[in-house]
A and B are shown apart, each in its own frame.
Chain A
Amino acid sequence: MNHRVAIPSPLRSYCAGAATVTVACAGDSPSLRDVLAALESDYPGIRFRMLDEQGHLRPHIKVFVAADVERDLAVRVPPGADIMIVAALSGG
């Protein structure tokens, strides 16, 4: 199943500047972790900038699955659902 992933500007250098990419995952309902692994496979290096070495999303990165914010990487991604990665708005 393919999923469209919206890439925030700080991460687009890994995707040749693309604002949206499509990744292929095995099965109809992969976990969010699987989708991000597929993203890393296509665009090496991108995962460690979003996830720390313990596999957790970094504090200022948010991920939407369809319309919902998810921090649990085990959550299942519905068939065909879009993913949106956001560099959170913070600071002054």
Chain B
Amino acid sequence: MARTAAKHPAVKRTEAPKRTRLLIATRKGLWTLTTDGARRTWKLAGPQFLGNIVHHAMLDPRDGKTLLVAARTGHLGPTVFRSTDNGRTWKEAVTPPAFDAGSGRVVDHTFWLTPGHASQPGVWFAGTSPQGLFRSDDGGANWKGVAGFNAHPQRKAWCGGDQDGTPDGPKLHSILVDPRDAAHMYISMSSGGTFESNDGGADWHPLNQGVRADFQPNPDLEYGHDPHCVRFAAGNPDRLYMQNHCGLFRLDRPATRWTDIGTGMPKAVGYVGFPMVPHPHDPNSAWIFPMDGTDVWPRISPGGKPAAYRTRDGGKTWKRQADGMPKSQAWWTVKRQAMTVDRFPVAGVYFGTTSGEVWGTRDEGRSWKCLAAHLPHIYAIESV
């Protein structure tokens, strides 16, 4: 469908923010790294929620002060913590995301948090493991399942069983709300594929043409794919970038067939990875962080040599960016939510590793520096 560009905020290079704060969600709690406009020195603070498995932490850009944290512990059930004063004080959600009683389904953890449309203050969406979509209308205090997805007659066919999927549990992630139209949304699932709704989540349809599913007997499927991360291009919600289990893809709406953009990657590195991070201002530019998806899927940097790759031409070509990173014997990788960008005119890019290090660049990847070390396994980083 056509959505007018006039509704969409103009793409422009913003002025440099006065500071950047990274929300670092880890297997053992939440930390923050803060810097000023120069981005030369960083201050680490935390932990909050020590001992909690924090899968995601997100700031509400609509008010600049509401923070949500998706957490659970090894023993206790999943919940959401919320702050309305930028993290100084916290309260637990009154009704955390949970499937309907009698459905037989149980939320293991809330995995993904997305603030709703700018015109709908207080609305948030959450994606869970196993795959479920939830909505809050009161800033994260109370959550209800989105019946249009959770009770969709095709949901089980799309997703498979609740025990299927990734080693850490099947997930619903990459909840994208079109900034021009609150009713237009995308979700992605590992596994399940990418789906679109044009009616605020009342109904969904698969959107996976052209995406490979090499792990299926019939690789040309309507659904059942494994997108790892899907994001809007900067300033252009008609362009989506996808890091998939089976490659890299781009979709330019209104087309419905994804384009393979992984062919420009070196064969020795491959096109497998978790994060997909578009540039904050340039719709043709994005970063990925490849991992080893060969053999038994070690899920580490290929050859122990970590590197980001950047495209400036919509995925036709990719350039290795590793200056400052270890040149060998570095066996970590980066999870799908653990790489982000800030909003500076010359973008900073940040990632957190499975070994608890935070790395960053303030020159769009030309040089990288370790900003923090010795943290727990990092699940997610958001720049706010």
Which A positions have Cβ atoms within 8 angstroms of B?
8, 10-11, 44-45, 48-56, 58, 60-61, 87-88, 90-91
Contacts and interface: CB of A to CB of B under 8 A. Distances in A.
6 contacts: A10-B73, A51-B77, A52-B106, A52-B107, A61-B75, A90-B74
Main DSSP-derived SS at the B contact region:
loop
B96 interface: yes
Given A54-B101, A54-B106, A55-B101, A49 B74 contact: no
Interface in B72-105: 73-77, 79, 92, 94, 96, 98-105
Contacts of A10: 73, 75-76
A45 B94 contact: yes
A88 B75 CA distance: 7
A48 B104 contact: no
B104 to A, nearest CB: 6
Main DSSP-derived SS at the A contact region:
loop
A10 B73 CA distance: 9
Interface of B: 73-77, 79, 92, 94, 96, 98-107
Contact of B98 (A50, A53, A58, A88): A53
A53 B99 contact: yes
Contact of A52 (B73, B77, B100): B77
A91 B102 CA distance: 30
Q: Which 10 A-B pairs have the closest CB atoms?
A: A53-B98, A87-B75, A49-B76, A52-B106, A60-B75, A49-B77, A53-B99, A10-B75, A48-B77, A58-B77
Interface centre among A8, A53, A55, A90 (most CB of B within 10 A): A53
A77 B150 CA distance: 37
A52 B102 CA distance: 11
A10 B50 CA distance: 11
Contacts of A8: 75
A30 B12 CA distance: 65
A45 B92 contact: yes
Contacts of B107: 52-53
Contacts of B104: 54
A48 B79 contact: yes
Contacts of B102: 54
Contacts of A51: 77
